[in-house]
Structures are given as structure tokens and as C-alpha cells.
Structure 1
Amino acid sequence: MAKYEKYAEYKDSGVEWLGEIPSHWEMWKLSHAYNEIGSGTTPSTSNEENFEGDIPWVTTGELRENVILDTKKKVSQRTIELFPTLRKYPSGSIAIAMYGATIGRLGIFGVEATTNQACCVMTSSKVLNNKYLFYWLQAFKNEIIQLSSGGGQPNINQEKVASLKISAPIIKDQIKIANFLDHETAKIDSLIAKQEKLIELLKEKRQAVISHAVTKGLNPDVTMKDSGVEWLGQVPEHWKCIKIKHITTTFEQGWSPQCDSRPAESHEYGVLKVGCVNGGSFRSFENKALPPELEPRLQYLIQKDDLLISRANTKELVGSASVVDGDYPNLILCDKLYRLRFSKNVLPEMVSLYLSIGTIREQIELGATGASHSMQNIGQDTIKELYYLLPPYDEALNILESIKQSNQKIDELTRKAESAIQLMQERRTALISSAVTGKINVTNWQNPNYNNNEANTELGA
């Protein structure tokens, strides 16, 4: 922040985590600054007519630090009349999430809207500009969350939001600060978006490399043949196209005892959770402790090189696979997992990678049963009847090594991109915090995109 000027004099804000503010700034309690601070409610979901209107109904899941122009669900004027705690808030209002995982998330209403009970809404003020407040609340999200109460998930209430003390200059200067932050955060956000796009491209590259290697091999000049399977197409001539049931020596699912919710400690037996295969790498910490009074079924103890496949999971994850990467003498297979062991000429890691590629995922999803948006199941035959491409053993080893080296390069590029994003996000937060507490003076800043004429962003002032 060295390139920005400071104000001439400062004073104690009276709030420990704000520190000093410019001497001519004031502290405004939200309850004194705003004409109205309110919330909303959730109409009965058992009556579909409650959501057959055209008035946006905002939930905390739709608060994403941006302007809200539309919502997934809408209510009617009749619904508002039926539920007295449901009311319309004007365009320009600021909403903050008060509960659970979304606590502290923000949104600006770009249209007139209602909300559920987890949103706290500030409408209009004569002393605080809404866009300025929007940035102020972003800057101190963590401190606001620290005011929360509750056991499992943090919660703040409307009273705690209303009691927040906001540091601010006069409205005219608030608008200048908001304009400055609009411009500067947009530049940072653009850079972040480019890094996020790079990460997505790297993910696609990883999947493309794996898909090509396990279905076409590494030799671009290899002679190809028709696999005889429509969804596999051409494959290397010397590879075998064989059903998975013909290369397995063991195919079983595990045990379903009543376990403790906590993970097993080193001296205890643990039963794996289905999430242990998510992401393609074996996650040994995804387990539940077996109560000491229950005798473990040792025939289900996992071993190194076991291939585990999720039998019951969400649509996106059912059929996920990973290979047990070491010795775990106290971890037991659960009933939501299949365990496969293979003939000596088959590498479990190759089968795991094969099951992860798009073409094979499509076949697995076609064989899944159950509700489309919740838990789905696959029977053993969904996996057993899949065709697998089996290269010679030595060639398979070379393919795995090539994929490993490619993944290492992609991982390094991904880490650099993630590090860059983190640094930019930290700079963004620091810049906002400095501007809304007067650590930097940007009131003389002029937008270069508007020929030095300030644009008015006075939302809800």
C-alpha cells in the first residue's frame, strides 16, 4: 500500500480490530444508521403455490459477493400476504448471511426481492452508502464471524449485525472509496479469473493425458484395430479388450457395522467410509472407529494394491476408484465399497485410472440406479461387464510412469496458480480493509476509464 497517501491525522476508533481511523471520520452503529434492518422467512415448501410468483426470494446460497438480479425460487404477492415476516426489500439493499457454512457471505439486490430467515438485510441510510458498506463488511468478514455463537456451525443474529460499528467518512467520500474499490478489485478479480481458468485447463489436460495413455498408449505410430466396442473405438492392435470380470481374482463388498462417528485411533479398528476413494487417491482418514465391543471381521481388512470402488454414492462420485497405497493393518472394507484384486499381469493403478476417464464414467453412470440427485448405486455387474484395455505388463508400467511425470508437472503448475490466487485474494482483502478504515487516502483518486470523471455508484444512499 506504499503508493497511496495517508490522511493527516488519526484517532482511536474505539473498536479493537479496526484500530485507528482518520480524525474526521465517524463511527456509525448500523442500527442507528439504517432506516430498516430486517430478515425474511421460508414459506411452507409443502405448498408449491407459495413459490409460483415472480418476486425473487433470496437464500444465503445466492449471496456470492455480487449483484443479485435473479433467484432460483420466486414468491407471489399472495405468498407475502400469507407470511407476515416475508417482505420486499428495495433494489440496492445489502444482505449478509447469518447462519452455517455461508455465514458472512454478501449480496447487493439489483432488483426488489424477498429473503429467507438466514439473510439479514440493510435497506437505505442517510449516512452510509450501501456499496461502501458492502466493501466494509467484506473486509471484516472474519471478525464478524468471530461474533458468532452456536455449537456445530457458527451463527450470528440480526441484533449482532445491527450492533456493528462502521468506520466512515462523509457520503461523498464513501462514494469515492467505493468507486476506487470497484475499479481496483475488478482488476484483481480479472487476474484471479485467469488463474482459475488456467487451473481448469490443467485439470482438462490431466484428464486428456490419462485418457489417451490408457486407451491409446504412448506410441503415436502403433498399429490400431477396431476394439469391437462402440464406445471404445480404435485401440492398439496388440492390446487385449477384455471384460473386467475376466481379470479379477476377488470381487466383493464389505461390512456395515454400527460405528462411532469419530475416526479410529492408531490402536483401534476403523471401517472405511465411501469417501475414502473420492478424488482418485486413497484417503485413509475417511473412516469411522469400530466400537471395542464389536469383533472385527478380519476377512475385510484391506491390503496394499486393493482397488476400491464406491458402490453407493452421489451421481458424480458413484463408481469412483482408488488403490490402497500402503499397509493399513486396522482398516476394514465397508459395505458401500467394492474391493477388486487382479491377476498378476494387471496393474490396479491402471484399472483405477481407466475407470476415471470420461468414456468409462459415462458407462458407469448408465448402469447406476437410484434418485438422480441423491444417492445412487451400481451393482457388481456394472463393473464386471465393463470392457478393459489390457496392455502388456511392461508397457503398462511405462504408461504409469509417463502419467506420473505428466501429473507432477501439472501439479506444480497448479500449485503456482493456486499460490498466485491466494496472494491476490490477500491483497484484495488488504486493499479493501485499508480503504474502508482510512489507512490509505483515495479520495483524490480518479477513474482513468472515465476521462477523470467519477462514476456514481451510490447504491441505496
Structure 2
Amino acid sequence: MTALHGALAPNGGMKLAHVATVLNGGTPRADDVNWNGDVPFVTPPDLRGLDGDSIVETSRSLTELGASSGSTVAVSGLAVSCRAPIGYVGRLSRRSAFNQGCKAVVPSPAVDEKYLAYVLVAARPILEALGRGTTFMEISASDLGSLLVPATGREEQRRIADYLDRETATIDALIEKQQRLRSVLKERRQEVVRARLADVGPQVQLRHLVVRERPMTYGILQAGEHDDGGVPYIGPADISRVGGTPALQDLRRTTVEIAAQYQRSTLRPGDLVASIGPAYGHVMEISEELDGANLTQDTVRLALDPDRADRRYLMWVLRGAASRDFWNFEITGATFRRLNLGTLARTPVPLPSLNEQREIADHLDRATAKIDALIAKAERFIELAQERRAALITAAVTGQIEIPTED
């Protein structure tokens, strides 16, 4: 046991394994007889954002045969994600199975389930720090069971849980209001872009706007392959939704030898980079400081013909709803929602004169600036409220604040 295990109970506590049963999960074979039954199958993505709330639905389910043959079933208790994302907690609202990315934590009669859920929510930073692995980070049942839980009686546990239910409900209502505002602002932003790009000129396919000597090129560098070199590389996570360039110091780097194998996807200033993986449709421009950088998989380089297309204008087009609608239509029914080079090349682009393209880009820059400022303000409020919520939970379960008694 490390010092991290005792971070929630610096003055002593009880091991989680002494007050609850920790169960490993599993996944049955892919046979049809095991799947699409009545038993919810909990995986880490199903727990994201729950923060101890009940698990209402899961993306997949098992039959009774699948649940008994390849998974683990818990009738009650908590599910904790122990493989990326680590540390998310949900309460089982019904008999459920769970995969190997989760652990079930079934509290003993001496422990209040809601209180223990809040303790594990407060433990998320600790659990993340305990993660180990090379391919992906995860924590073991032993590490989870060694976590020290603050020692307090069941009556006090329930009082803390009731207090946190009330206080977090107020914070959650404020967060939800700002999330709705953010959604409305983003829809408004898309409408501004869509309206300005409607009926502006004849359409051409994107492939006709690329320099012939430097055609569209997939990034093929595997992220994490021979890192710690000197050549920066860009992946989907580095590409901002609304533009901008990631800071050079924040990029991962590969070796010169590896980068030399992928010269076809070497970037030059002014190139555009588009993400084509599951989060497709994000585009950024390469700055002078990123000259010579490379690309990972799920990205494509676009070297535009400056005599036909303005870079800023084309970024507005590719980020717009019309382009996304075209891509969504083209890949309907795909198992993995990923653009291929042919689909991207066929993307229709309204193409007025270069002067009008620049005027449209200038207009959209101005028209969206105020909306972007409001979106940023809402996102900052959400971030601060979430930090306040996390701090309140930690303070309450560790005894840093006095829990008021209800009248």
C-alpha cells in the first residue's frame, strides 16, 4: 500500500476491501446467444460523468447465458471504472453485469452505499494516479481494495450523503443550465455559418482545390511509436474544433528516423490538417513553427492551391454543418464512423471568387467572435462549478467541513 492509498484518510481509516467486496468483471464470447438480452452490461464509457448517480442505461446488454458464462453479475452496489477513463462511479439500479474495465464494489451492511459512492468519487484523482500499464492505464482489484476509506459510523455516513445530495443537486442544476446555454450558442454559431455559406457560388469537389504536386495524404505515424525524438507530430486530439494551433511544446515527438519513413505526410506552413477518425470534421492550419511536423493516423494533410482557395474560407466550409451532413450521409451504416480519403475528396465546396472567399471569412470571423466569447464564458462557469462540486465532496467525506444538522 502506498501513501496515495491513504490520501483520503490521513489520520487512519479502513481498507475498502474490509468494508466492501471488490469484484472483477469480464466479457463473454461474441456469440449471438450471449448478447442483447435483459442484463445491463456496464463498461467504463457508461460510467462517464455519473459521479455516483444511478446507472440508468448501458450501451450493451447480455442474455442470462452470457452473464453466467463470461461476465460477473452484481445485484447491487457500485460500478467503478478501472480502465481508461479511470475513477468514474455509478450505482447499480438493478442486477447488472460488467466488463473487465470495471470493478463492482458491494458494500457491507455497515456501510451506506450512497456515502461510499461519494468517497469513491472523491478518490478519482487518487485512482487515476494509481493507474499502471503501457498499452492503457488501469488499476487492479488489489489497488482498489487497498484504498483507505474514512472511518465513521453508518448514521454519520448517511448524514454526509444526504447533505451532499442536497448541495450537489443545486450545483448540478446550475451546470445543466449553462450546458443548455452552451448548446444553444453552438447551434446559433452553426446557423450563422450555414446562412453565410448558402448560395455563394458554384460547387466543386475538395480534391480540385489541392495542389497536384502534394495530393491529400493520410497520416500513418502510429501515436506513441518511438516517442522522445525531435520531430513533432499532430494527431486528432491536437486539432482544435474552432481553429488555432497547438503549442509546439505540447506536442509529442518522434525520432528523425521514423519521421523520414513518412515524408509523404510531412507538413508545411499553410497546409491544413483534418481529423478523419471518430471525431471527424476538425480542421487546423499549420503555422511556421510546425514546419516539418508529421501526422498520426486518423488525420489528413490538405495542401491547397492558393490561386483557387483561401485557407480561412475553406476551414469555415469544412467545419460547417453542410460538410458534416455530407460526411454523415456518406458513412451511414459504417461500423466505425471514420472518413476515408475518397469521401473527404468528394466533399462539395461552394467556390465563389477569391475576393468573396476572403470577405466571407472576414465576416464569419467577426460574426462568431461574440458567440465564441459567450461559449467560453459558459464553459469556464461549468469548469469552475465542477471543481467546486468535487472539492465539496472531498471536504465532506474527509471531515474538512462541519456537516450542518437539518432542522
If the TM-score is normalised by the length of the shorter chain, which range does it land in? 0.7 to 0.9
What code does the residue aligned with 1:41 have?
Answer: G
Q: CA deviation at 1:212?
A: 2.0
Aligned pairs for 1:303-382 (under 5 A) are 303-308=268-273, 313-314=276-277, 316-317=279-280, 321-326=283-288, 328-331=290-293, 337=300, 339-342=302-305, 344=307, 346-367=309-330, 371-379=334-342
Aligned to 1:111: 94
Identify the match of residue 172 of structure 1 among 149, 155, 160: 155
User: Letter of the aligned partner of 2:270 in structure 1?
Assistant: D
Query: What is the aligned counterpart of 1:136 among 95, 115, 119?
Result: 119
1:397 paired with 2:381, answer no
For residues 59 and 246 of structure 1, the distance between their equivalents in structure 2, rounded to whole angstroms, comes to 40
* Max Rg structure: 1
Asked whether the equivalents of residues 97 and 119 of structure 1 are also in contact (C-alpha less than 8 Å), the reply is yes
| Paired residue secondary structure (1:146) | helix
> Does residue 95 in structure 1 map to residue 79 in structure 2?
yes
Question: C-alpha separation between the residues in 1 aligned to 2:263 and 2:99?
Answer: 50
The alignment partner of 2:74 has SS state of coil
Distance 1:264 1:307, change over 3 A: farther
**Residue ranges of structure 1 left out of the alignment (5+ in a row):** 1-13, 21-25, 216-234, 447-461
1:427 maps to 2:381 = no
Letter aligned with residue 97 of structure 1: S
2:53 paired with 1:69: no
Give structure 2 stretches of 5+ with no counterpart. Answer: none
Residues 29/48 of structure 1: CA separation in 2 closer, same or farther (3 Å cut)? same
Count how many residue pairs are aligned between Structure 1 and Structure 2. 393
CA displacement 1:194-218 (0-9 Å, x = unmatched): 2222222222222222222233xxx
Q: How far does residue 279 in structure 1 lie from its aligned partner after superposition?
A: 2.8
Aligned to 2:170: 187
Q: CA deviation at 1:53?
A: 2.9
Q: Structure 1: which amino acid aligns with 2:126?
A: E
> For 1:414, which of 359, 362, 375 is the aligned residue?
375
Q: CA RMSD in A?
A: 3.8
CA contact (8 A) 1:37 1:121 kept: yes
Q: Secondary structure at the match of 1:186?
A: helix
**CA offset at residue 90 of structure 1?**
2.1
The answer on whether the counterparts of 1:271 and 1:290 sit within 8 Å (CA) in structure 2 is: no
SS in 2 for 1:88: strand
Does residue 196 (structure 1) correspond to residue 179 (structure 2)? The answer is: yes
Task: Kindly provide the CA deviation profile for residues 40-83 of structure 1, in whole angstroms up to 9, marking residues without a partner as x.
Answer: 321112x1211243122222222232202333333333334434
Q: Which residue of 2 aligns with 1:5?
A: none
Partners of 2:73 and 2:218 in 1: CA distance: 53
Change (3 A) 1:369 1:164: closer
Q: CA deviation at 1:287?
A: 7.9
2:387 match: secondary structure: helix
> Which residue identity does 1:437 align to in structure 2?
T
Residue of 15, 30, 34 corresponding to 1:29? 15
Q: Distance in 2 between matches of 1:165 and 1:295?
A: 50
- Paired AA for residue 19 in structure 2: A
Distance 2:202 2:27 in 1: 55
Give the TM-score normalised by the residue count of structure 1. Answer: 0.72
1:150 Cα deviation after fit: 3.1
Q: Partners of 2:22 and 2:295 in 1: how far apart?
A: 52
Higher relative contact order (CA closer than 8 Å, sequence separation 6+): 1
Query: What code does the residue aligned with 2:302 have?
Result: R
* CA 1:199–1:263: 2 relative to 1, 3 Å: farther
Identity, % of aligned pairs?
Answer: 24
Contact 2:220 2:262 in 1 (8 A): no
Q: Within 1, Cα distance between the matches of 2:400 and 2:391?
A: 10
Counterpart contact for 2:9–2:398, Cα < 8 Å: yes
Name the SS of the counterpart of 2:202 in structure 1. Answer: strand
Cα distance 1:263–1:396, how it changes in 2: closer, same or farther (>3 A)? farther
Over residues 107-145 of structure 1, what are the superposed CA-to-partner deviations in whole Å (9 max), with x where a residue is unaligned? 111111222233222224232101111111111221233
Give the number of the structure whose residues are more often helix, by fraction.
2
Change in CA separation of 1:240 and 1:159 when aligned onto 2, cut-off 3 Å? closer
Residue 58 of structure 1 pairs with residue 63 of structure 2: no
Q: Is the 8 A contact 2:220 2:295 kept in 1?
A: no
Kept in 1: contact 2:221–2:296 (CA 8 A): no
Q: 1:300 to 1:433 in 2, by over 3 A?
A: closer
CA contact (8 A) 2:197 2:350 kept: no
Correspondence list, 1:266-277, <5 A: 268=231
Q: Which of the numbers 238, 241, 251 marks the counterpart of 1:279?
A: 241
AA at the equivalent of 1:305: G
